[in-house]
Amino acid sequence: MRKPLVAGNWKMNGMRASLIELAGMARAYPAALRAKVDLVVCPPVTLLFPAVASALGSGIAIGAQDCHAKTSGAHTGDLSAAMLFDAGANAVIVGHSERRADHAETDADVKAKAAAVIAEGMTAIVCVGETRAEREAGKALAVVSAQVRASLPEGAKASNVVIAYEPVWAIGTGLTPTIQDIAEMHADIRATLGREIGKDQAAQMRILYGGSVKPQNAKEILDLADVDGALVGGASLKAVDFMAIAEAAG
Ligand code: PGA
């Protein structure tokens, strides 16, 4: 019922020469895989426009990693969702833990950004996740549930919002939660969504896992009932790794 989505987050990595990896992904994404798995790649914004051109006709959607909540105005250095859409983006990651940490983004900020993204007709990939201290204190489920409730924009539906559960301590560390912990968290997020947007929409909304997803561990994670894809950082920089994860989702 839910088509898996594998999203690549290049973070602050990638020069024009890196577009060769995107071309490699496009070549390795035949119609049979396209029918089973959706792909979105989120390069740094400097590469957005050429990435859209390079992915054209491949079925790979191109996204951005952040946006401003407002449409335009006096916000030096910021980019609006409307601008990203104009450059060819179909999706925007909002509330990544690196932005929550580096730029002090709150759930309210994330909610406003997500609202801006869906107002442009794009998909908001809303990130949530607990810190190591929160997990060790037994608070992971409560923390993530609160983030989901406070970060979801008005009008969130399965067609315009994707949730990405990314434990902060698993990002870029090579560490992952146990399979049981991932399964428990994803089921709990779906229950929270059910209370927020209704059981029907919750049943259709995609919940991605992110944090040290690699070709080696992807299948076991993606086979879980409530895991509907992955948000991939490091392993999305190389076409072979990213497409191995896409295959594991199919
Ligand atoms: P990672 O990053 O796959 O390099 O752990 C995931 C993310 O931050 O989205």
Query: Would you list the domain boundaries of the chain?
Result: 5-249
Let me know: does 87 contact 65? Beta carbons within 8 Å. Answer: no
pLDDT per residue, tens digit, the chain (250 aa), is 899 999 999 999 999 999 999 999 999 999 999 999 999 999 999 999 999 999 999 999 999 999 999 999 999 999 999 999 999 999 999 999 999 999 999 999 999 999 999 999 999 999 999 999 999 999 999 999 999 999 999 999 999 999 999 999 999 999 999 999 999 999 999 999 999 999 999 999 999 999 999 999 999 999 999 999 999 999 999 999 999 999 999 9
Distance CA 217, CA 212 (A): 9
Could you tell me the distance, in angstroms and rounded to a whole number, from the CA of residue 210 to the centre of ligand 1? 6
Distance CA 230, CA 44 (A): 19
Q: Among residues 21, 98, 130, 166, which one is catalytic?
A: 166
Distance CA 188, CA 68 (A): 29
pTM for this entry = 0.98
Let me know: does 229 contact 7? Beta carbons within 8 Å. Answer: yes
Could you tell me the distance, in angstroms and rounded to a whole number, from the CA of residue 130 to the centre of ligand 1? 14
CA nearest neighbour of 6 among 206, 179, 220, 153? 206
166 belongs to the catalytic site: yes
Give me the architecture of the 5-249 domain, per CATH.
Alpha-Beta Barrel (3.20)
75 belongs to the catalytic site: no
